[in-house]
Chain A
Amino acid sequence: MSSHTDPRSLFTNHHAWLQSWLVRKMGNSFDAADLAQDVFMRVLTRQHIQPWGEPRAYLSTIAKNLMVDHWRRRALEKAWLDTLAAMPEAETPAPEQRLIFLETLMEIDRVLDSLKPPVRRAFLLAQLDGYTCPQIAKELQVSLATAERYVAKALKQCYTLRFES
């Protein structure tokens, strides 16, 4: 196997470089160290074949994707805490439920990001408000077949993100 695609040699040859690259991008050595770790985890567990070519370009592409995830996650955590703080206590969920809800919202947020606006609206009505497809069709003023196609598309995206990425 070429040294380019052997994960162990990738790690020994490029870990220090990747970490300092991440420190430069993120301005924070703790997050950078964690993310560098995640990048190599991703390389090791990846099922598909790694592309040939410049290994640092390959590593930094994965690192960029993980950085976006990391920022989204942090932004969502902050939004979540702000929202909870602004709600009357009686309406806030029990502490033991919060982590589950937060994880669920992270998933919804990631799915929403990859959908076109009408599909997003259909997805939110279906998942959060419990609308059926006929109700969604009425609300969005589209045919039932279109509403069903929207929901199916969003569910496919949920599936891909959870089970195939």
Chain B
Amino acid sequence: MSTLPNQIVDEAIAWTIKLQYNTPTETTLAHFNDWLERHPSHREAWQRVSTFKVEHSKVPVKLARATLNSVHQQLQQQRRRMLKALGFAALSMGSGWLASDHTPWQRMVADVSTTVGEQRTLTLSDGTTLTLNTDSAVSTHLTGSTRRIKLQRGEIRIDTGEDVNQPGKRPFFVDTPFGPIQAIGTRFTVRLYNHGAKVAVQEGAVRLFPAHGAVGTLVQTGEYHWLGKTHTEKLTNTAMDPASWADGVITAENMRLEDLIRELARYRTGILRCHPGIADQRVSGIFQIQQIDNTLQFLARTEKLRLTYRTQFWIHIEGI
């Protein structure tokens, strides 16, 4: 493995902070592209540095936290033995950092999360099936008198379980920044936006409680509602099936091309930019979300579009 100059490694790290740990603007991406093209060693450094986030985020977060906590405790116990064997040399064990960080973690940590382009399905201890869409995070609290799942980022589908291990079936809530959603024996999806959440019920019913609202709103099977901090609202837009992502597809009916492309972009790192001239073109069909680049090629063929790859992170889409 060749050694790269320190300065180039630092530059690559600065870019990865801008691109992977912030939301990059098009200008940033353009500058990044210039940097990448300037020298082969830039590309090499970028490839090395950008893998860390991808690889580390694949480990299930609960497993990772529990293992790291437990290894720390063990090492504390072994410390005495090691100090003796090593005559105090070469030791840098730290001092109880996991223990002191323990309380804030319990609060702030997501149990389960997905990265861009990833989906994950889990069965929880009460029998509930939880599916996370791309770039999503939840924490679960299933041990109290109510079962609660806090949606921190992105989108989930819930298929509530029978909770058979408990004397009585406990109420089930999904908490969002805009207020809680109570499930009533049910299957439903919740997606967070900046100023509210969209809730769609496929089976059973749910009740929405806006954080600053007076009363709850009942959402029945087949309905689709907006949950804001102060109010709820029934939605009528049916251009896209709100739940088909859980089956790995976007189902579009007479959908604006720009809207479809914006949806596809959620599953891919970087920017997909739609030319204004084709934004209002209408599309119908079923689009795979596992291999977004293939889906884009397919879309380009059927809708007569041209894809221009400015970088692998930045694609322009326009009419032919």
**B137 is an interface residue with CB less than 8 A from chain A:** yes
**A1 is an interface residue with CB less than 8 A from chain B:** no
Contacting A at CB under 8 A, from B15-50, are: 16-17, 21-23, 48-49
Known pairs A130-B110, A132-B22. 6 more at Cβ < 8 A? A68-B90, A101-B64, A117-B100, A130-B114, A134-B22, A164-B3
Taking a contact as CB atoms under 8 Å apart, the answer to whether A109 and B49 are in contact is: no
How many residues on chain A are close to B (CB under 8 Å)? 58
Interface 9-residue window, one of A2-10, A11-19, A36-44, A59-67:
A59-67
What A residues does B23 contact at CB under 8 A? Answer: 132
Closest to B72 in A: A79
Set B66, B82, B94, B137: member contacting A129, Cβ < 8 A: B137
* Chain B nearest Cβ from A118, distance in angstroms: 10
**B74 is an interface residue with CB less than 8 A from chain A:** yes
What B residues does A159 contact at CB under 8 A? Answer: 9, 13, 48-49, 52
Set B13, B17, B59, B69: member contacting A128, Cβ < 8 A: B59
Taking a contact as CB atoms under 8 Å apart, the answer to whether B90 and A61 are in contact is: yes
Set A68, A71, A84, A152: member contacting B17, Cβ < 8 A: A152
Taking a contact as CB atoms under 8 Å apart, the answer to whether A155 and B85 are in contact is: no
Closest to B85 in A: A25
What B residues does A163 contact at CB under 8 A? Answer: 1, 3-4, 48
Taking a contact as CB atoms under 8 Å apart, the answer to whether B78 and A84 are in contact is: no
28 contacts between A and B (CB under 8 A): A25-B85, A64-B89, A68-B82, A71-B82, A75-B74, A79-B69, A80-B71, A83-B66, A83-B70, A87-B63, A93-B60, A101-B59, A104-B56, A105-B64, A105-B67, A107-B56, A108-B56, A108-B64, A109-B71, A112-B97, A120-B101, A127-B56, A127-B57, A128-B113, A130-B153, A139-B108, A148-B17, A159-B48
- A residues contacting B by CB (< 8 A) are 25-26, 61, 64-65, 67-68, 71-72, 75-76, 78-80, 82-84, 86-88, 90-93, 100-101, 104-105, 107-109, 112-114, 117, 120-121, 124-130, 132-134, 139, 148, 151-152, 155-156, 158-159, 162-164
Taking a contact as CB atoms under 8 Å apart, the answer to whether B68 and A108 are in contact is: yes
Alpha-carbon distance A125/B63, docked complex (angstroms): 14
* Chain B nearest Cβ from A40, distance in angstroms: 18
Closest to B94 in A: A113
Set B14, B85, B101: member contacting A26, Cβ < 8 A: B85
**B214 is an interface residue with CB less than 8 A from chain A:** no
Taking a contact as CB atoms under 8 Å apart, the answer to whether B49 and A155 are in contact is: yes
**B269 is an interface residue with CB less than 8 A from chain A:** no
How many residues on chain B are close to A (CB under 8 Å)? 62
Alpha-carbon distance A145/B300, docked complex (angstroms): 41
Alpha-carbon distance A64/B92, docked complex (angstroms): 12
Alpha-carbon distance A105/B61, docked complex (angstroms): 11
What A residues does B125 contact at CB under 8 A? Answer: 88
- Give the residue among B53, B59, B86 with the most A Cβ atoms within 10 A: B59
**B55 is an interface residue with CB less than 8 A from chain A:** yes
Taking a contact as CB atoms under 8 Å apart, the answer to whether A113 and B93 are in contact is: yes
What B residues does A112 contact at CB under 8 A? Answer: 68, 97
Closest to B63 in A: A83
Q: Mark B130-162, 1 if CB is under 8 A from A, else 0.
A: 000001010000000000000001000000000
Taking a contact as CB atoms under 8 Å apart, the answer to whether A91 and B60 are in contact is: yes
Alpha-carbon distance A86/B52, docked complex (angstroms): 28
* Chain A nearest Cβ from B121, distance in angstroms: 10
